[in-house]
Chains A and B, each alone.
Chain A
Amino acid sequence: MPRAELLTPSGLGELTAALQRTTSSSRLLAGGTDLVRSMRHDHWEPDLLIDLSGLRELVYVRLEGDRLRVGALTTFAELQTDPLVRRHARCLAEAAARVGSAQIRNVATVGGNIANASPCADGVTALVALGADVRTIDGGGRSTVRPLEQVLVGSGRTSLAPDEAITEVSFAALGSDRRTTFVKIGSRATVTVARLSMALIVKYDGVSGTVSEVRVALGAVGETAFRDARLEELLEGRAAHEESAHLFADGCTDAVRRAIPGRSSLPYKQRAAVGLAYDAWNALGLCDRCQPAWG
């Protein structure tokens, strides 16, 4: 087997030079939590590995105007505690806190979470709800921005070219009129891969007691995390009380059915969706705790 080569750029200039040398068998390496495992597990080596971990300039969270910008090499441990993320994108901080273990969060990056394109990627679910854009740089030094949904093509598949690296993800910062949360269900309470996940963002009007501008992303159901317009419309303008929670739970099971019709996991995921819907609704803290009729 030809020996893989490891390049270690320490700035964006060196990165673009390294990207010029990539082939379809080359890989970028960030935290390594997906890539190093898969190299070992599947006994393969890329021809070229570009280690991004030296690119400290891609580790940041910045508020610019009303946009929150997150460098691609920012880890989930950093996102989990970052004051700007907690304030303006709480669902992302909560998703970060639920990624793997402390050891994983200390190295796993948001860019790797996107590029790995697992349907169970928790960061991705939150970012889809936030309507994130992804900035990339390529071997020609060109920097372009496109919506996250256009990067995620399918399970484990992206539209990223072999010579394209994610440098930043950005989205509109949520104002104080927004309530948001991330919830997930896995096979155990902690250090668990999502069997179903949800990020929920609503605008809450405390005077009328209603929610609007609802955004819901579902993860670990179907090829990639997605928003469901019908589900979002269901809650539009609704009062923040128990009836809306029941409606939301019904809407979630319908959205899951639309996403994976006839799949063997459908009955489990539909049931999980009900529990998750109430978890999310209750986490918003808009009214007294609601429970499913059978719960």
Chain B
Amino acid sequence: MRLSLIVNGMEHELDVRPTARLIDVLRLDLGLTGVKEGCSEGECGACTVIVDDKAVNSCLVLAGQMRGKKVLTVEGLADDDGLDTLQRMFIEHGAVQCGFCTPGMLMSAKALLLADPHPSEEAIRLALAGNLCRCTGYATIVAAVRAASEQPAEAAPPPPATGRDGKAV
């Protein structure tokens, strides 16, 4: 079936199986392998993407349900000016270990900050409750999201490829 899909700001015309899940189309048809598949049943959150500003498990929706909607994956977080504030804070706070959960964590956190730029610690934990991490114990991730929420909204991003502490990223 023909499907037109807006992903990371680009429109794609695709021929997909009617029962193809969004994650299948993102990873296999569009090569967006930053979208991770862990459990395939909504438990781990590794596949989280943002659809019309809301966090969604891409393993639980069909691509065909995305007509007219805007999909954002981790590949779309950074722009020409460099990494998103959240990505920089994840690096600064050591919130990435093996990295498998990171794209999903980032997208859940991004959706939260879109809706609530200054969330409470409780709100951060609730927003990330559907994202499992086997490595970090979550504290560094929560700290990274809080730090990102405390960054001045209009602050100029640092030069590309350089973290705030001057280390290459």
Contact = CB atoms under 8 A, between A and B. Distances in A.
Query: Is A bound to B?
Result: yes
Interface of A: 3-6, 8, 29, 31-33, 36-37, 39-41, 45, 49, 51, 53-54, 77, 100-104, 106-107, 190-191
Interface of B: 1, 17-19, 21, 40-43, 45, 48, 51, 54-57, 59-62, 64-65, 67, 108, 111-112, 126-127, 129-131
A49 B18 contact: yes
Given A5-B18, A107-B56, A29 B62 contact: yes
B19 A39 contact: yes
A103 B129 CA distance: 9
A190 B126 contact: yes
Given A4-B19, A41-B41, A104-B130, 17 more contacts: A3-B17, A6-B18, A8-B64, A29-B62, A32-B60, A32-B61, A36-B61, A36-B62, A37-B40, A49-B18, A51-B62, A51-B64, A102-B55, A102-B112, A103-B42, A103-B60, A103-B108
Contacts of B61: 31-32, 36, 107
Contacts of A53: 65
A101 B18 contact: no
Contact of A106 (B19, B54, B129): B54
Nearest to B68: A54
Given A8-B64, A54-B67, A102 B126 contact: yes
Contacts of B19: 4, 6, 39, 45, 49
A82 to B, nearest CB: 15
Contacts of B127: 102
Nearest to B69: A53
Contacts of B65: 29, 32, 51, 53
A51 B19 CA distance: 11
Given A45-B19, A100-B42, A102-B108, A8 B67 contact: yes
Contacts of B48: 103
